[in-house]
Structure 1
Amino acid sequence: MKATIYSIARELDISASTVSRAFSRPDMVNAKVRERILATAQAQGYELNRAARGLATGRTGLIGLVVLDITNPFFPPLVRAVERAASASDTSVMLLDAESGGQKAAEQLKRLSAQVDGLIVASPRLATKDLQAAVGSTPTVLVNRAVRGIPSVTCDNSEALREAGDHLVELGHRKILLLRGPAGSWAASQRTNAVRSWAQHTSADVELVELGPVEATYEAGWHAAEAIAATGATAIMAFDDYLACGVVGGLDEQGLSVPNDRSIIGCDDVLLARTLTPQLSTVTAPFEELGARAVTMLSEVSAGGAPGNQKLSGVYAPRGTTGKV
């Protein structure tokens, strides 16, 4: 027989409404009584019906997680981190792959916002006004995008990128190419500004060459390799690891090996960066902390708090794709 609030109530000789409140309004139930209810529910194998709880409380127990492109290796570890943090607070995650910016993404986000208690939106490319309109009054936290009026947690790679640039200079590189990320990407803009600032203020005589914007895909990096080789730059700083790995493959097609002929640095430290041979020099992203912080902040927003905008720092990790000129 399937466990229900009524079977739990019968075993404990209490009312079904008390059992229901133990799940939907625990603050209204005596702590010892609630402990007995939870223990009996677990023994009977009771599974809480979130839809029913939503009708009774106005809350679904769901948060929406929106990612830009689930095929991009940056997002799976972030999704896992969010799910782990949400599970610890008895909350489930509804995932939306928004694919791109534009009207379709705005409509998808708006529909999702009506089905969940709160939203975590990762790396959105929607225009600010469209993003604000899509989330409406739903409690929302952004990841890797800063928008006035919406709490966010971002990864600040400025210092790590400066360290990466200094490392290339130490290795003897003076002509360095910056492969810029997608147009409309907040993270791409931040990383571009950080590298430009480093090149402008470094004491070394560095020539910074720029190429892009390009989409953050392996294919885009592969296709960019011929133009990169033609610049004569001896080192490349790519927007992210996905692009960087594509460049490595494309350079190989041009007869250029990494790190013997060219050095390259990515960003984010996704799994692909560590499975490449040689392993990719990159800037690590604190995925676990990004996900956990986003869930904690969303809980604060839902409770009426204002956690503001929080920053985490990336760390430069030199590996096998950077070598001497």
Structure 2
Amino acid sequence: MTAPVILASVNHRFGEFHALKDINLDIGAGDYVTLLGPSGCGKTTLLSVLGGFIEPSTGQVLIGGRDMTRVPPARRPTTTMFQDYALFPHMSLRDNVGFGLRMAGIARAERLQRAEAFLELVGLTDAAGKRPHELSGGQRQRVALARALAVEPDVLLLDEPLGALDLKLRRTMQDELKAIQRKIGTTFVHVTHDQEEAMAIADRIVVMNAGRIEDDGPPARVYSRPASLFTADFMGEMNHIPLAVKGGAATTPLGPLEISVPARDSRGTACLRPEAIRTAGGGQGLGAARIVDAAFFGTHWRLHLEPEAAPGLPLIAHLPPDATPEQGAVLALYVDPDAFLVYMQEQ
């Protein structure tokens, strides 16, 4: 089962606090969408509106073309999977997964058969008779996922489901979640504050800030060409270079830049990802910079740099793992002009 979701002009207030502001969002049937943003941005409130746990102050929620705005959670074609999993400790995994089917009045033989089929889907067939305390954190997460899917929702809502797992297990479960979603085709809406997690699993990332949608698109576009300065900063590390435009020419503390800028005289910020900075190969020159510090991350060296032309302007660059950076060494920096992201101040 799967269904599209439409949120139309959704607003919500908690007293005087405006938690959601004019949210308009279309989610296609079978999409895997992440709601991404910092704490307090409204992503969990929006998920609660989708699940029926919060009725929006204004606006409309449509699931599968039906108005669900004031329909309670139990009558919606949605299931919510929470971070703490909420498994019943006294029940076997088989009975945990079949609990929702039991509440729906499904006969015992059928619900146990379906429960075992979903335990097989998450790779826990041999553990069907165990209790939750006998499992690892990743296995409990799989049981919670099987239970959520067993009732065959049109939309599965996931509220930071991987937040309690360690890094290695979290990455494994990201792969498994994505594979399961592709196999069953259910619409997934997944809340996270982890940018890497969002990019690893989502077909589409919705970035939220202060109750609004800042950006919405495929992970590669949201990362490489973010729609706002907030998104640019939130989606990984970013160098900020003050920018002044006069007579159609761009100047910075590092010198002039050959980049596309508005014709009007204005000020703004030229942003640059650390991985875009090179020490050879030509392109736009950024001048020389001294290595203040260097740390090895396996896939790259992360350098803190102090430009000679602007000592008060810190830069971060990522160099290949076979580089040999030494503290105090001076490097010549280059970048492709189209790697700059330019955000002008509003007039």
TM-score (norm 1): 0.28
> Hey, which of these two has a bigger chunk of helix by percent?
1
